[in-house]
Amino acid sequence: MASSSDADKPSVSNVEESRARQCAEFAAVAGTDSAVAQCYLAENDWEMERALNSFFEADMENIFGGEDVPERDPSPKPKRQKVEEKAPKDCIDLTEDSPTPARKPTEEEDSDKLSLISWNVDGLDTDNVPERARGLCSYLVLYTPDVVFLQELIQPYVQYLKKRAVSYLIIEGGEDNYFTGMMLKKSRVKFEESEVVSYPTTQMMRNLLVARVNFRGQKLCLMTSHLESCKAHGQERMKQLRVVMQRMQDAPDDITVVFGGDTNLRDTEVAKVGLPATVCDVWERLGKQEHCRYTWDTKVNNNKGVNFVSRCRFDRIYFRPATKEGVPHLAPDHMALVGLDKLDCRRYISDHWGIYCSFAAG
């Protein structure tokens, strides 16, 4: 006669059935076969989350480890924008607190505030790039921004984001060398259309990525760019700024326009171009808070290992509110710098700090 303790134990057939289900679930999420699933699950004591994390960490090394990152090519090339409409089969969303689809909306999802992060992630720096990409995703978990503007993306970085951040729609402003991108939180921002606007005389493959979206009944035009780099290219940079400002100014009056990116601008260059009366610099509008002034700061950030101190406000957010009566209006509400803590690899996510910004109903 079986003891009570033996009776409480699951039968061999039940264990096998449970593990078979786990293998099938793992294989469906990871896009692999049951043999690989069984291997990762067994190595992780049949804990699904640990096994999936282990699988994707190994996959991350495959994405980044075997890639030769292209050098900067000074010649301009045509860009073709890409939109990732559907998540690939082999992904799990690690920017969500829970991968379970059936859940109540969070406080952030119910909020009328628009939140965004703009960040030059320095994908051309190949040192510790897997750890730095993982660090970026940790900030997406922390802040759950509705919109993310990214500059200096490379294809391996994008492929990693597509695997990890499947709650976001990813729009690419190019596909070769390095380029800009946008991430739109699918549960909050409805994508309508996008385009890439060329800068005719760029020598650094720069362009303006534009997306038209709907945010909780409000029409938005979102823009990001990486303007020409280096002090010597100020004239070209000002030409590009004029293109941005013209596009912002020309948007219909029922649309709110938000631009964010690595502008490489000096204050004297902005003064020469001038901002339209309808457009504001969000940092200035919020009182020029000193702790948000410098987004590229070699005094603190040692990723580049340079032996000089340079503190610049290269990364900027520009805003043009909708002015038409009867439509919802947003106004700048808050700004902070992100990425100020070193990762375990003793480096920062980027040589730039990211900008977190929110907009509230005005």
Q: Which sequence positions are flagged as catalytic?
A: 262
The pair of structure tokens assigned to 331 is 């106004």
Under 8 Å between Cβ of 41 and 19 = yes
- Helix or strand (DSSP H, E) at 172: strand 168-172
CA dihedral (59, 60, 65, 67) positive or negative:
positive
Which residue type occupies 298?
A: T
Residue (of 70, 209, 239) closest to 149 by Cα position:
209
Exposed, middle or buried by CB within 10 Å (0-12, 13-18, 19+), for 287?
exposed
**Quick one: angle between helices 34-43 and 48-65, nearest 10?**
110
Question: By the 8 A CB rule, do 143 and 168 touch?
Answer: no
